[in-house]
Structure 1
Amino acid sequence: QESWGSFEELDRLFFHNARNNATALYVRSHWMEDNFFGYQCLNGCNPALVRQIYNIPSNMAVNADLLHPFLPQESSLEEELKSGRVFLLDYEVLEGVSANIINGKQQYLAAPLCLLHVDQEGTLKPIAIQLQQTPGPQNPVFLPSDSKADWLLAKMWVRSSDFQYHQLISHFLRTHLLGEVFCVATLRQLPEVHPLHQLLMTHIRTTMQINIQARASLLAPNGVFDQSIGCGLTGAFAILARGASRLRYSSLCVPDDLRDRGVATLPTCYYAQDAQRVWTILFVSGWVDLYYHSDTDVQLDNEVQHWISDIFAEGFQGLTEMELPQSFESKAELSKFITMVIFSCSAQHSAVNFTQLDFNLWMPNCPASMSQPPPQSKGSVREEKELLVYLPDINATCSVLTILALLSQPTASYVPLCQYQEPFFYTGAHRGLVEKVQKELKSLTAMIEERNRIIALPYPYLSPNHIENSVAI
């Protein structure tokens, strides 16, 4: 239950476990760098939050003069905003959430706003961090020109906030819990002989089991969230509720999400590149065409209409703000929705789950909890070793890393994306569709492997041979 005594102690734990983990070793070497901070926003555990902005948030106390030193000399803040080169991380979902007590010690949460800028080469860097949502004299804006210790502490607060957001919203809510909604509705509304039951169940069948295990261990009293993570159980449920109320259907559909967030064309956003390609290959219009010859056929399929109605009314409690379909009027609408279900329960889960140990094994890069309150002025830390008091205790660190090590391993019954055992996938027209998808996925795997050979930090998480067919861990 003691605090870490030195970064050398952390190093001993890290290197004992990171010998064969090239990504973790890279993280350890580069975690303090602004370039790598920005890289993680695009390709780390939580690549689905950063978004392009055209106006500075009204609750962020920055102006053109303050930010000018961190922008191109010949440009201005107004020009950079207009050109789409300014991005934002906003953790408002954490505002006011009660923090945990770990080992009898109060923990702390922040709700940061972080501005980032992308240069002409596509490198994304943070340029301003405000640790709370309401501006004021006790909520300073930290800048890259501040002392090295101040700036690093501000970035650690953002990374700790990102840990809470990633685990609960990007990971548990948007893959595990969504998968459970789709699974329950499929079992209730689509009979086994329905072609969409046959297609969907291969991608959702393991969701219930792993979610029940999560409720019995990770999200139970005396579980990992209760004993080792900054938000604790009470905070976790508050964050999940807020995250659910902010869900939008467009954010679950890859082409819409990448376009809305302005990351689709960033040259260093490998998540975006690979997610778009996987989505395109998975798109199930061919499967839908086998059974529905017109939009009217979709409209008259009472079972599939009851299925989407059940998802909307029961799974999402009729949240109209989510803009989820309440019925299907066309083949295109149905194809898009089914593709979203399959992608969320396979590729998206891979992107947010199998990254965890790689980016978190060096714990200061992503602290699961912070043991001191957010600084209310600059100069509260003068040396990097003073940052240790903010980090989780030894036992909490080891507890979290043990779980992340388990979650980052493929299951014993691992089934790669679109590898099917059921006989009906290999008869008649189904066989041609499956073989076409498998061929395209194999080609994409080769393309990603070729790219990864020439970039500094490979991004394998959306390579089809690394994607599990369903949420199984």
Structure 2
Amino acid sequence: MTNQTTLGSLGGGVRTYKVSCEQSVGTLLLVELEAKQSWFKDFFQDWFCNKIVVTTPEGETISFPCYKWLNSKKPVVSLRNDKGQWKKYHDGVPYIIDAQEPSDLPEDVRFSFTKDIEMKFNAFRHVLIYVLIEYIRQHWDSDEFFGYQFLNGTNPMAIRCWRTKLPDNFPVTDDMVKSSLGGSCLQKEIQEGNIFLCDYKRLSGFEGNTINNKKQSLTAPLCLLYSTPEKKLIPIAIQLNQKPGVENPIFLPSDSEWDWLLAKTFVRSAGFHEHELNVHLLQTHLLAEVFSLATMRNLPSAHPLFKLLIPHTLYTFQINVMARNLLISDDGVFKKYTAIGHDNAVNTFLPDSFSTLTYSSLCLPDNIKERGLENIPNYYYRDDGLKLWDIIHKLVKGVLTFYYKSDADVKGDPELQNWIWEIFVYGFLRKESTGIPRSFSKVEEVIKFVTMVIFTVSAQHAAVNNGQFDFGGWMPNLPTTLRLPPPKKKGESTLETFFQTLPDVSTTVHGLAVLFLLSKKASDHCPLGVYTQDLFSEAVARWHISRFQNDLHKRDQEVNIRNRNLPLPYDYLKPANVDNSVSL
């Protein structure tokens, strides 16, 4: 085995050292480089290490990027290789890091001691300290709050404005909804952009999981909503399965109290699964892992994009490894306490969700337009999200245009091109239909993509993660499963059947425990724009970061002022509450 190291000194010289080893040391994942002080005690020359290249006896060449200065204050550095860290997770979903346990991860990407202890402590005592949000407990069963959650709850991505004829499998008539529309007709309200649809068709065809020897129910509902002249979003029709028929009635607000409440509860349970698996797990956690791994594999620490992105990778690998082991494993939480179970979730639902994922759906301005939600009132997720998107975009544009002066600079950066290529290959499985670029040819393309990356791992994750216990702490509002099948006739639901449908006590306790743990911030969390390392030395880049931090502070104050007049403040996208990375 031959080791070749290239070093440069402050004096400007470059030297290459070769070290030979007669025996193979097996698979190389990590090397340590130590710069020792000379016998002159007061003399130590700084050295810049470019990389270490190892040639194995079998002829394989493995590169360990360094791009760091070594000095007497920190003479030892640990370097990861730039190969072999992608691992196939399941067919049809993004690749993951090759690590089974947190201990398999490099030390510098694992939890701090403080966060590790807090995660274990909180996991032990969560049930003892949970407190219900009083507002949600009082309003969870109202139509107005039901509609509000589609805009500002755990999943603000589910609904879209419906401007054409309703789907054939959802035969809502004017007579059904006339009273809900204040006497107006359905087609008129559709044309005026006041009708919204949420369709959980991805959940169709799944057989319910078995929990505590009891078969569970999982429906694939369609829910029609109306934006009223009073600026409220309310449900006006619910069908609990995709195929219309006599045994699949369309429930209406004019039905009996328990029929209507039960129909809404089935929608909320379906919403739990769509949110946790697609919007939360796939579109933030798994993509964040892809972005983080591609960054560490392809961008040297001296690269400006590495400096810009590395704070947004903090703790992502470990939290995802833990999630795969504890939540979506063969014996994890989804297997034991959700209606969809493990196999359906991982082998079918996730690939199906990924098949519809697009680049534009990850870019908030494009997403809002595609779903026709530019003008719906009281959509605080949209308002706050677009503000943060603009603030992040301004930072990214300011920093990257300083280093990339022209499109030619982008085309000529092999490390940047390798970064996006690996994201395209391992993150989006070479699917050109997603719209994800496979290479960059323009500066503006890099700016938009990097803005999306930072927004996804910070703001988007905060929006779909931080309110889980707030909205799910009152279990009937966000049940992880339901025990009875949906009603096939109107007029048969009662208070007794409603309680029989809700999850049992054991399932409820474990569900609340997980939601609490996932919503609890560690004391060492890093809010958006708070950087623990001073990575940029150039004055221009540092100025843009300072402006970014000022913009975030100003936005904090704006959100505080807005929230004073809201009965339920929306602060999930308040910058102080947004972490730099997917760390929970």
Q: TM-score range by the shorter chain?
A: over 0.9
Per the alignment, residue 470 of structure 1 pairs with 581
Per the alignment, residue 407 of structure 2 pairs with 295
User: Residue 301 of structure 1: CA displacement?
Assistant: 1.6
Per the alignment, residue 163 of structure 1 pairs with 272
Distance 1:259 1:374 in 2: 34
Distance 2:436 2:369 in 1: 18
User: Residue 17 of structure 1: CA displacement?
Assistant: 5.4
Is 2:567 aligned against 1:456?
Answer: yes
> Aligned with 2:208: secondary structure?
coil
Aligned residues: 455
Per the alignment, residue 370 of structure 1 pairs with 482
Deviations 1:245-289 (A, max 9, x none): 111111110101112112232221111100000000000111110
Q: Are the aligned partners of 2:329 and 2:342 in contact in 1 as well (CA < 8 Å)?
A: yes
Per the alignment, residue 410 of structure 1 pairs with 521
Residues 27, 385 of structure 1: CA spacing in aligned structure 2 closer, same or farther, 3 A cutoff?
farther
User: Residue 453 of structure 1: CA displacement?
Assistant: 1.0
User: Residue 404 of structure 1: CA displacement?
Assistant: 0.9
Greater CA drift, 49-58 or 149-158: 49-58
AA matched with 1:275: G
Q: For 2:238, which of 113, 129, 142 is the aligned residue?
A: 129
Matches within 5 A, 1:347-366: 347-366=459-478
> Aligned with 1:345: secondary structure?
helix
Distance 1:304 1:265 in 2: 37
Per the alignment, residue 334 of structure 1 pairs with 446
Per the alignment, residue 265 of structure 1 pairs with 375
Q: Which has the higher strand share?
A: 2
> Aligned with 2:255: secondary structure?
coil
User: Residue 221 of structure 1: CA displacement?
Assistant: 2.7
Matches within 5 A, 1:17-166: 19=131, 24-55=133-164, 56-73=166-183, 75-166=184-275
Q: Which has the higher helix share?
A: 1
Per the alignment, residue 107 of structure 2 pairs with none
Deviations 1:158-207 (A, max 9, x none): 00000011111111111100001111211222222211111111102321
> Aligned with 1:213: secondary structure?
helix
TM-score, normalization by structure 2: 0.76
Deviations 1:106-161 (A, max 9, x none): 11110001000101232100010011111111111111111110000000000000
User: Residue 413 of structure 1: CA displacement?
Assistant: 2.0
Q: Are the aligned partners of 2:130 and 2:516 in contact in 1 as well (CA < 8 Å)?
A: no
User: Residue 328 of structure 1: CA displacement?
Assistant: 1.5
Residues 204, 146 of structure 1: CA spacing in aligned structure 2 closer, same or farther, 3 A cutoff?
same
Greater CA drift, 38-47 or 405-414: 405-414
Distance 2:192 2:580 in 1: 39
Is 2:539 aligned against 1:428?
Answer: yes
Greater CA drift, 307-316 or 432-441: 307-316
Q: For 1:285, which of 380, 397, 415 is the aligned residue?
A: 397
Deviations 1:217-246 (A, max 9, x none): 111233211111111101211211111111
Q: For 2:294, which of 173, 182, 185 is the aligned residue?
A: 185
Larger radius of gyration: 2
The unaligned stretches of length 5 or more in structure 1 are 1-13
Per the alignment, residue 97 of structure 2 pairs with none
Q: For 2:343, which of 223, 234, 244 is the aligned residue?
A: 234
> Aligned with 1:346: secondary structure?
helix
Distance 1:286 1:385 in 2: 61
User: Residue 18 of structure 1: CA displacement?
Assistant: 5.6
Per the alignment, residue 3 of structure 1 pairs with none
> Aligned with 1:424: secondary structure?
coil
Per the alignment, residue 506 of structure 2 pairs with 395
Deviations 1:351-386 (A, max 9, x none): 1111000000110011100111112221231x3342
Distance 1:329 1:391 in 2: 54
Q: Are the aligned partners of 2:365 and 2:386 in contact in 1 as well (CA < 8 Å)?
A: yes
Distance 1:85 1:39 in 2: 15
Residues 282, 213 of structure 1: CA spacing in aligned structure 2 closer, same or farther, 3 A cutoff?
same
Distance 1:99 1:235 in 2: 9
Q: Are the aligned partners of 1:91 and 1:112 in contact in 2 as well (CA < 8 Å)?
A: yes
Per the alignment, residue 256 of structure 1 pairs with 366
- Cα RMSD between the aligned structures? 1.6
AA matched with 1:245: S
Deviations 1:362-416 (A, max 9, x none): 10011100111112221231x3342011111101100010111111111232001
Q: Are the aligned partners of 1:99 and 1:235 in contact in 2 as well (CA < 8 Å)?
A: no
Distance 1:172 1:140 in 2: 32
TM-score, normalization by structure 1: 0.93
Q: Are the aligned partners of 1:45 and 1:352 in contact in 2 as well (CA < 8 Å)?
A: yes
Greater CA drift, 435-444 or 97-106: 97-106
User: Residue 426 of structure 1: CA displacement?
Assistant: 6.3
Distance 1:126 1:419 in 2: 41
Distance 1:87 1:287 in 2: 40
Per the alignment, residue 219 of structure 1 pairs with 328
User: Residue 98 of structure 1: CA displacement?
Assistant: 2.7
Residues 120, 295 of structure 1: CA spacing in aligned structure 2 closer, same or farther, 3 A cutoff?
farther
Distance 2:340 2:439 in 1: 37
Q: Are the aligned partners of 2:398 and 2:541 in contact in 1 as well (CA < 8 Å)?
A: no
Distance 1:446 1:47 in 2: 23
Is 2:417 aligned against 1:308?
Answer: no
